[in-house]
Amino acid sequence: MTRLKIVQAGDPVLRQTGHPLSPEEIALPAIQDLIVMMRDTMRDAPGVGLAAPQIGLAIQLAVIEDQPAYTQGIAAEVLAERERAPVPFLVLVNPRIVEYSQETVEFFEGCLSVAGFSALVKRSRRVTVEYLDENAQARRMEASGWFARILQHEIDHLHGRLYIDCMETRSFSTFDNMSRHWKDLPIAAVRQALGLT
């Protein structure tokens, strides 16, 4: 397993718009190998998504996977509230969100490139995404809940955006403090405690 270095906030590549990959580029052994290395790096971190800018490459490529092991120990009602279910390994090349729901959901997000921190971020509850897969085949998918959040987060990376650009600033916290103080509270209670209501 090859683990790539994950760049951190402040690195200029995280603020660039990645260039799209052609079907011919996707087929190159270098890109196919990169996909495997990104998958391994994401799993090792561990994380549920990794975009190419996070490993220093300004290209439109991201990988996503929300393994069942990541939700062990989380109560079924909490998973249902967050609309979180496992997501099999997925490769997104040149993804575009073509539809956003008007309905939004707020929850804590973290990022492998803003290591150790978390904040409340409001995202569309449902999205429709068009993209190419690892075989350069055109795909279209609809996602809701936690999966929609992951997609929006990773696609933002491909356009030079980080979750800190759209976070509720008063909620910004170390991951340890978020887990200690806010993790098991309803978001409405978190907002009230932080003076956001």
Which residues participate in catalysis according to the annotation?
154
Contact 61, 134 (CB under 8 A): no
Read off the amino acid at residue 71. Answer: T
Distances (CA, A) of 154 to 77, 131, 161, 170: 26, 13, 9, 23
Q: Give me the residues paired with residue 17 across strands.
A: 159
Provide, for the chain, the percentages of residues in helix, strand and coil under a 3-state DSSP scheme, each rounded to the nearest 5.
40, 30, 30
